Every structure is written in C-alpha cells, then in structure tokens.
Amino acid sequence: MEDIIKLRDVSVKFGETEVLKKINLEVKRGESLVVVGSSGCGKTVLLKTILGLIPVAEGDIYLFGEKINGAPKSKIMQLRSRLGMVFQSSALFDSMSVWENVGFYYLNHSDMTDEQIRTLVRDMLKEVGMESFEEFLPEQLSGGMKKRVSIARALVSKPEVIFYDEPTTGLDPIMAESITELITEMHKKFRTTDITVTHDIHLASRISDRIALIENGTIRDIGTFDDLRKNSQSPLIKSFIFTEERK
C-alpha cells in the first residue's frame, strides 16, 4: 500500500528552539494514525507542518508522492485541496448558517448553484446526524453539534486525507464517545486516510491503526495500541495505557 504522507528527517525551529527533531514518518493510504503526547510536545506543530502551514528547517515532506517544502504556492494549494481539516475549536463562521459553513468551499470555489450546494450539504449533514439544523447558527449549537458540523464541512469536498486536531477536547464523556464513533464510521464509509492529534488515549485506542508517541519533539514510539501496551518502555505511554485500562 502506498505512502500517502512521508516525512524524512524533518526538523522545525521557532527561533533558536527546535520543536521537531529529525522526524521520520510514513502514513499509508487508508490508515488511521493517531499522534499522542503531552501538552507542548509538538503534536499540533507536526500536523501544521504536514499541511505546509509551518516551514521546515531541515528535511523533506511528501504528500501524494510530491515534495511540498520548497514547492510553488500553487502546487501546495492544489495538494491541500485533497485534504480536509477538523479544528480543535470547530472554527465555524459565527455569522453563517450551518449549511453555509458546510458549503463554504463550494460557495467560494465553484460555479455550482446554491441549490446544488444545498443538496450536497444536506446529504453530508445527514451522514453526521445534523440534517435538521441547516438554518441554525453556530451559537445555537452545543459543542458536540459544532464538532459534527465541522466534520461535515471537512468531508463535503470528498478529501483523501482528514486531519483531526484534538476532536474530543472540551466535550463531556458521552459526547466524546459519540464523536469517537462518528470518526470511526466516517473513516470506514469514505475510506479516508486520517491523522488525529489527541491526548485522549481512549479515542486513540478506538480509532487508530497505529499510534505515534511524540516526546520532546521526536517520535519516541510507534505501533498499534496492543504493541505499545506490551512493548513500550515510555513512562508516558505506560501512564496513558494504565489510565485507559482502569476505565
């Protein structure tokens, strides 16, 4: 199976501080990779670097077999059109209705009529259990509902890769579980490649094919949940696994 994302000796610096250090990583098409680690370890920086939002100091990043660092902006934008992003805060536009938020890409980057876009949006909202909320504004939605709308917006353009940044942060346990189930369902249905950044080990254990542990800007361990449970010597992984097994 092809590597859809590949990082080779990638380092990122903020001033003199090296935030990512010689990261090597491959993500296979159709895989669900979860990146875990403590706050400030570099998880979200890694995600933004893969997206081309943060420049690399050293190394190379490949998306769909094409190197993106140093590539023209037009090429980066073309590759990004094949990606979807679900932000930690959901990042919905407050002044726009649910359907306008989900249809934002098509409303601004296509010649489709509003009715054609509404049809696409309606179908996607149904997939995430939000079909009755087209005309609602974000302020009228709960945190979990906003997250569902954000997932619909990421999926509506049929991306090949979805990035999730802390998708269950700020949600109560019941809502977090429902979002976990939704992410699993959408991954299977749309056959996306998923990269999820989280500190929620329960989410990681449920949705991952592999888990990568970042500590101090490096990938310290990588493997399946069972592999890490049996073999990892990392105190952080052991504390994560212990917390999950006590639930």
Q: What is the pLDDT of residues 90-146, one digit of tens each?
A: 899 999 999 999 999 899 888 999 999 999 999 999 999 999 999 999 999 999 999
Looking at the domain assignment, is residue 151 inside a domain? yes
Boundaries of domain holding 213: 32-50+82-245
Q: Evaluate whether residue 102 is within a structural domain.
A: yes
CA distance 88 to 150: 10
Query: Is 111 inside any structural domain?
Result: yes
Structure confidence by residue, pLDDT tens digits, 3-33 = 999 999 999 999 989 999 999 999 999 999 9
pLDDT (tens digit, 9 = 90+) per residue, 39-67?
A: 777 888 999 999 888 999 999 999 999 99
In a domain? residue 58: no
Flag whether 147 is in a domain.
yes
Q: The pTM is what? A: 0.91
Domain count, the chain: 1
The answer to whether residue 244 scores a pLDDT higher than 70 is: no
Q: What is the pLDDT of residues 181-230, one digit of tens each?
A: 999 999 999 999 999 999 888 899 999 999 999 988 899 899 998 888 88
Residue 110 lies in a domain: yes
Q: Is residue 125 part of a domain?
A: yes
Q: What CATH number does the domain containing 223 carry?
A: 3.40.50.300
The four Cα atoms 181, 182, 186, 187 give a dihedral, to 10 degrees, of -40
Please report whether residue 1 resides in a domain.
Answer: no
